[in-house]
Structure 1
């Protein structure tokens, strides 16, 4: 059936009214009002503000949200101003210059869900009568194309996203089809339980949000009826549908979408004898997605008190496929059905039809339709963004520095060069501000660009001194400060970098710089040439003379020394082992037996041997690892672990108290870790081990990652562990995590990791880096891979290799399930849904990046630590907000209701109401966008 006139008329009304204004009283600096709202009238002059007549919320001008020099304020033509037109449409800000112009909304909470809405009404503001088409981006990700088809109609773009930072940018991108402009911009915080399809990698773009069945088709429901200021557009079709309503309060206590009562008090039901509600539409290809996919959310409530002999029962089908068991509603209860996985097809028909047993037709109260918004593009590293923003503000840079500095790559800021490594945010590696009219001193923020390799500040008017902090930029190779007005001397740190050849400094044409010749030379360059040449010769002569004298004396007094300078292995010492260069306590084997009460209590067993419980003389409890005769780890591995543990110290590495090398006996004495291994708590089957919450697991992951980061970055020389796994992560009474077992560790050359090679491939099956197994050359990225497996073990509670029935690795197992968009399908069920869904998504994503097959695509441990800390922050915020913990799942054959559990655990359509709910496994998904809206039948 073709779309009816009655259906199209309300849809046109939808296009006209979809963005009735809302907002919050806000100041440009504070950004948020008391409700967390941001409401901006783009084009409102100066610092003006006003209260919207409908919502009673305040709008402010966009000054403070965008660069002062960006765009121009314009008023729409008077012929398009009508009484019912919201005031925020009376003016616009247009952007004739630059490819990208961006608004920045600040003071947000990183990792929270927000609704972002932009509104546009052309109104012939420029007098040209040219309707523009341009793109809209949210941060560095494409949002949608704005196509203004009628001068007097409002166009609205709305997205629901998880914001990764404490700000979000809305950018208008000129695609060459007209000048971008904007009328209003709004942001509303949402509860984390809303719209579970939204996560850090995926947002939703609203196509339509309908309130079905209201008597007044001009009555838009939004704030304050909807405290989250979603806009519910009225829709009804008198030729096809009958409207029913109630004035009684609908019980929305367990409605995880919190649909306003005013919306749920009205519904539609079919007029004809077929007792069927139908909604049809054809998808509209999008410029960036020719086959768009959709999510649909349908809201139900029984508004009529049915007699005992009446029954309302119905099925829901999409394109002829039944989505669920028959649905029954509870009087004045609230139910919802939605798809977790997007659905794609060439056209769509949703049919809600009464069952054979039903005496009444089906009903539908409200409908929301969304398409997917990919959020997979990485923005520039937040530290670099902060530094460049400060630099831009300090020097009033007039270049078109708008939006993200590096992304998308085609819109990177002028005069910047960035590095783009797969799986991690871009970093700024070159800044060229030569001849840019810079005034004042050198900004300390340049020293915050830790990936910077080339900094050119030449031919400006910079004054003051050169900052020594620039010498701490580890990758900086070229620093050009020539042609300025700098004064003073070259700092010692930079002189040292010049001397060792790691930095090339250009500082000519600074008349007040280095006026004292010696102040710009390394220390050794201050001496005259004779001293340069003579001093080393004198030193060498003295050293040789002393060495020859000692040699002769030693040879005369102890002739046997030259023949045998190695002490017998069975020699026992109680002090530090100076022959091994060790500075830790050395125990005799008799002392080991006394400490362990003759090896009475075994704590565990590893490849090296058994671990025993022990107590020192002062009562300190320790763990004693004694090498067994069957161990394949010999003196080499033992001495490697002792030497490593005596020189590394970090709160997340197990501390070595002492060692024993007494003849054939070898033992290591560690600090005692009362809670055993991570393996015991996750997949070890220890019934006495406590079940770790997701928050505890994340904390363990962060602490373990910090320990590995220290090995890679804080040790000199750096270390590769080579056997990172759940059994080598130990927990103390406070469940603090520490990395253990360094017998297989290797030092590496930080400048050339490929130089590390081994004769034997070592590690543990399931945790080993496949690239290392192929090449035989471990790198720090080998540890990153193993840690990624540990992280997947924490998420899933599964071992690294499973047999069900065939052998499958945990990485493949997780990838298969996440490819269907189902995070709950991989989460350890023992956590009982007690976690933030976005934190879980982010952790799984980090783990999969760590376990990329090619090591070049894996992040380093510093990036892993930062990302996991963000995960932990999300989880802590989730735990602190009790109102966000009511999620739902469950199965029932007939009645709908609701359980306060967790997000649905399969790829299913979910229905919930005030006392039961059901799930039916089906990939019910995407529902497309259309210019004239879905047709009712």
Structure 2
């Protein structure tokens, strides 16, 4: 039995909304970390005393699975970390999973799970169970003692933007977990980890500390690796320094923290060797596989000034054989390391001996060591689109049973009622009806309002879900918007809402636009005539292609025609049309917008001018003028429109320039009306998805889902930093970092030169640049209440422009710039090379 298409659409819409809310609460923090206290009740998190990292409850990461339990009081000690006081236990089902979302596909991450049994169940029987990262085996957890915390850590490459951490009941006790951490790494570090194999940590030891409790982790290690001290005062002498040990930039493959490298051990007797060993841990090996051996990384940094007539050189031996082929001579106060790419030969015990070479006059030393075993990550999970669709259904109807982890892989744990293909990756081909057993109680498989619609019959080919959900969402948005704003005729839109998209002349934030709207409705045949049958393409975006055209009176226009393949529908079309510049087309299936032609393209194009571009670098005065005009345009939206509007997608590619290089705000596909009294969007929907462009999204909006005028202020602050620096909203330094964090890092040290665009060659008033940078930082503070209004920003930018004009009058000259291009239509090239797609952030 199959449901009708509208039933399917309604169910998908609700499922997507619910999934969006859950995902919005389960995101990495501002430094990319995910820190989960598993089993922590309620919704409030806390700051860890030792690391000052914020830990959050796990409810948003695990869906309707497990229960919160406290460990026995007899195992609680004054020094016990707070995250070990409670656990999440999974007494039901074979596989129970956490979903960590909003990751960067293809990036390396540290995944760390911790377990303290603490007799939480009163059974005094420590369980044994397996863990998986996605569909790949991670390790076996054998909690041998109730009062000892056990940690499992791996370095893996994440294939998608979501990774599931699953606990598998193997029949030897109930799986449980105390905490779960995820930490991003640069793609260049730990080269032994790749898409098909990960690194399972055996141990990470710091040689030299004399206190066995002296752990090194965040913030001393920016990646929050935990370095345990290896103390043996009877065998080793300690050498140390308080000077900082430097990493060697992009060539540093492991980025050991300075605090670890500031200590080392050397033999007490200068003629002896350094010797230590470790044993293979059988339970760490994947089941039914030959032990893969271990990979070692040894860290060396010279901490003493070696006299000219002295030599320090040593060999590293493994089980009596030379491990590293050459003698090692570390550099003074510089990070050095020795490592292997392939696993060491299998052995029950691994004996390391470090001895001086024949030429050496000084004894050997070592600062730290990391030891890993290899785990396979070559298994492929279910197609990501299918997973997203079926997860939306699962969360909407709270389906429990065995609907945990990957839907199709492994086959022995495939979800009840699903049929999967044997392709790679597997795809969901069908969900059959009459699956009442999917519901574990009277409440599951019901909607949030308690309606008893069953989930079983609503999907035939889940891949379709993604498409039809988006379509219904836009239709639904269109209906709501028309209802709120009043009816319109077929030939016009509400004139109170149709707001000019161009900037407002300086000095009057409420003046009329330089372009008067015609409210004209074009037929598709007229558009064919205007564009000479869509002959010249100016660019392309998510809505569709943009074509060059001319009206009968010779006025040049840009025609934005919705593609039949576009996932932006009627809702986005009408929203943009509310502030269209010339007119629109709604002719059958054809939808288009007719804009004033902006010959000089986008601000983003000009900020990033170079690399073969015919444009020259913008002068600082030109940048200030564009910033002021853009700010005035946003001020007009916030204060001059009736009803006022929040743009919600302010970015450099949505600021267009005409032939006079006048800046105008454009592209209102995501705009919302807001309440005059509090600046919040009208009737905010708590179940709506966060929208905007990555790098520009207000973090407070991202967290609360409430849009305010201060959200536009935040995005504009990002644009200001781009104007100052000439850099994109998200930099690669070398890993992705938001320009706001990058700029704060430099400016906090007074390093304005490290932020300002070097292509301006110093031709600017430094006070003016500093003031704009400070405005940008105020605009991008996390608490929206502390941000200025756009009116305040306009006033401050006017002061900055005055400073620059005085600077120019004093005889300073700026670099020459011209907006002229050989190709008159190249100004719209940015439509094909955006600095960030406008998205629904899920």
Give TM-score scaled by structure 1 length. Answer: 0.45
Q: Which has the higher contact order (CA 8 A, sep 6+)?
A: 1
TM-score of the pair, normalised by structure 2:
0.50
